[in-house]
Structure 1
Amino acid sequence: MSALLELHGLSVDIGNRSLLEEVSFSLERSQILGLVGESGSGKSLTALTITGLLPLIGGRVTGGRILFDGMDMAQLSDSSRRKLRGGRIGFVMQNPMTALDPVQRIGEQVDVVSRLHLGLSHRDARARTLDLMAQLRIPEAKAVAEAYPHQLSGGMKQRIVIAIALAGDPDLIVADEPTTALDVTVQAQIIQILTGLVRERGLALLLITHDMGVVAQACDRVAVLYAGRLAEERAVGPLFETPAHPYTEALIGCIPRDEMGAGGLNGIQGTVPSAANFPPGCRFHPRCDRAVDICRTTRPAPRPLSDNGGVACHLAQGGSL
């Protein structure tokens, strides 16, 4: 089965800075791919590039290709990309508090997507909106449709943003940190809703997050970004059992566990470097306690792993460190 979404050596610049370099991964229908990494790794930039919104922030693709259902996104006209975005590609914005128009009723913001992309009448669009709200477990859907965003809780706004992404009947949903700023209970509900939609509808979901616990719970495969480069990409089971990159291992080590007790939470020393100060060689080497001379001078080439994954690390051998 061919992949629905394929990134081949994607590179992106903003101004004179290279922010993504040769990023490659693929996503099939009915599959959830977690795109993970700390803030500043390039996750949201990847989402904007996939959805064709990169020019809005002054960015440009400088290398590689993005294929959606076999179509080269770079070769499509602006109008063709707009038809895909909101239609076959749904986008769940990072912050539900600012993603909604504050002066427009909720129902109208959902209705417009199915009217534009499915050609529905006002009446049929509203019926679809109410049906989506019911699927997303929104109580009193008719009253919510008449409300304004400021009248809803954060968790309810997030459900509405997901309804907007679903209204065009997409094949792919790009969800950029859909559980940010929500409490733990609501986070679990949102992830359950998204994974349920993938299984029931056969959608593909690109789930962008910095929460490795969410990845372990929801994803089939994982792509780990660090400072604009792909560190590791594998099935979720092998990645958590035998991480092949020190950065992946460090991220997994940050997941809270019951046995840690008070004061036992792990962290990663240092911060992700800015694009103005990317180090030579492996970009993780200043924070890696295993780095050797070659790590400091030479960029590691991606290498395949025995479990149909890949890693870019000089020290990785056959799938685990």
Structure 2
Amino acid sequence: MSALLDVQGLSVSIGNTALLDEVSFSVERGQILGLVGESGSGKSLTALTITGLLPLIGGRITGGRVMFDGTDMARLGETGLRKLRGRRIGFVMQNPMTALDPVQRIGEQVDIVSRLHLGLSRKEARSRTLDLLAQLRIPEASAVAEAYPHQLSGGMKQRIVIAMALAGDPDLIVADEPTTALDVTVQAQIIQILTGLVRERGLALLLITHDMGVVAQACDRVAVLYAGRLAEEQPVGSLFERPAHPYTKALIGCIPRDGMEAGGLRGIPGTVPGAAHFPSGCRFHPRCDRVLETCRTRQPLLRPLSPSGAAACFLVEGKPA
């Protein structure tokens, strides 16, 4: 099966600063890919590039390509991108508190998506909106549609943002940290609803998160970003059972577990370097507890993993992919 979204060798810069360096991954219909990494790894920048919003922050693609259903996104003008955004590519913004217009009723904000992209009448659009709100398990959908954003909880606002992403009947949803600032119970509900709708509709979902627990719960495959480079990509089961890159192992080690003793939760020493201060060689080597001398001077290339996947680490045996 050919991938709906195919990102190959993607490099992105803002001004003279290179931020993404030859990032590659793909997402098929009916598949959920988790794009994970700490803040500053390049996850949201990747989302903006995929949705054609990179120029809004002064960015540009300097290498590679983003293919959506066989179309090179970089070759589309703004008119072509607008036909895709909202209609075939839905975008769940990172912060639902600021993603909604505070002076417009909820129903109107969801209605406009299906009116613009599906050509529905006002009555048809409102019927679709109420149906979406019901699918997202929003009680009293008619009353919520007449409410303003400030009258809703954070979890309810996140459901509304998801409804807006679904209203155009897209093939791909890009969800950028859809559970940020929500409590654990609401997070679980949002992820369950979102993944359930993806499975039912046969959509593709790129789920961007820093939460490895969410990844384990929701994803089919996982791509791990660190400082603008792909560290590892594997099926979710293989990644948690046999993580190949030290950074992936460190992220998994940060997951809280039942029965964990006080003080048992581990962190990763140091921080993700800023783009102006990326180290030479492997960008993770200053924080790595298994660093080799060659890691300090040479950039590791992606090496294949069994049964499928790849990792950019000198500790992985095999020839570079």
Give the TM-score band, short-chain normalised.
over 0.9
Per-residue deviation, residues 115-158 of structure 1 (Å, max 9, x unmatched): 01000011100110000000001111111111110000000000
SS in 1 for 2:259: helix
Q: How does 1:271-310 map to 2 (within 5 A)?
A: 271-310=271-310
CA distance in 2, matches of 1:77, 1:58: 16
Q: How does 1:18-29 map to 2 (within 5 A)?
A: 18-29=18-29
Aligned to 1:74: 74
Gaps of 5+ in 2: none
Aligned to 1:117: 117
CA distance in 2, matches of 1:84, 1:261: 49
* Contact 2:129 2:167 (C-alpha < 8 Å) held by counterparts: yes
Aligned to 2:100: 100
- Which amino acid in structure 2 is aligned with residue 114 of structure 1? S
- Superposed CA RMSD: 1.0
* Contact 2:303 2:317 (C-alpha < 8 Å) held by counterparts: no
CA distance in 2, matches of 1:235, 1:270: 28
Per-residue deviation, residues 238-258 of structure 1 (Å, max 9, x unmatched): 110010100000000000012
Aligned to 2:226: 226
Per-residue deviation, residues 217-256 of structure 1 (Å, max 9, x unmatched): 1100000000000000010011100101000000000000
CA distance in 1, matches of 2:164, 2:313: 40
Q: How does 1:125-274 map to 2 (within 5 A)?
A: 125-274=125-274
CA distance in 1, matches of 2:216, 2:42: 21
SS in 2 for 1:157: helix
Calculate percent identity across the aligned residue pairs: 83
Q: CA deviation at 1:260?
A: 1.8
SS in 2 for 1:258: coil
- Which amino acid in structure 2 is aligned with residue 74 of structure 1? A
SS in 2 for 1:259: coil
CA distance in 2, matches of 1:317, 1:163: 45
Per-residue deviation, residues 49-82 of structure 1 (Å, max 9, x unmatched): 0001111111111100000011110111211111
Is 1:317 matched with 2:317? yes
CA distance in 2, matches of 1:174, 1:139: 25
Aligned to 1:4: 4
CA distance in 2, matches of 1:106, 1:259: 42
TM-score by length of 1: 0.98
CA distance in 1, matches of 2:234, 2:269: 25
Q: CA deviation at 1:307?
A: 1.4
- Which amino acid in structure 2 is aligned with residue 181 of structure 1? A
* Contact 2:172 2:204 (C-alpha < 8 Å) held by counterparts: yes
Per-residue deviation, residues 156-212 of structure 1 (Å, max 9, x unmatched): 000000000000000000000000000111000000001101110000000000000
- Which amino acid in structure 2 is aligned with residue 211 of structure 1? D
SS in 2 for 1:260: coil
CA distance in 1, matches of 2:144, 2:60: 39
Per-residue deviation, residues 250-293 of structure 1 (Å, max 9, x unmatched): 00000001232211111000000000100000000000011111
CA distance in 2, matches of 1:312, 1:294: 13
CA distance in 1, matches of 2:116, 2:261: 52
Aligned to 1:86: 86
| Count of matched residue positions in the alignment of Structure 1 and Structure 2 | 319
SS in 2 for 1:86: coil
Regions of 4+ moved over 3 Å: none
Q: CA deviation at 1:304?
A: 1.3
CA distance in 2, matches of 1:140, 1:2: 41
CA distance in 1, matches of 2:196, 2:289: 40
TM-score by length of 2: 0.98
- Which amino acid in structure 2 is aligned with residue 218 of structure 1? A
SS in 1 for 2:79: helix
CA distance in 2, matches of 1:194, 1:140: 20
* More moved, 196-205 vs 254-263: 254-263
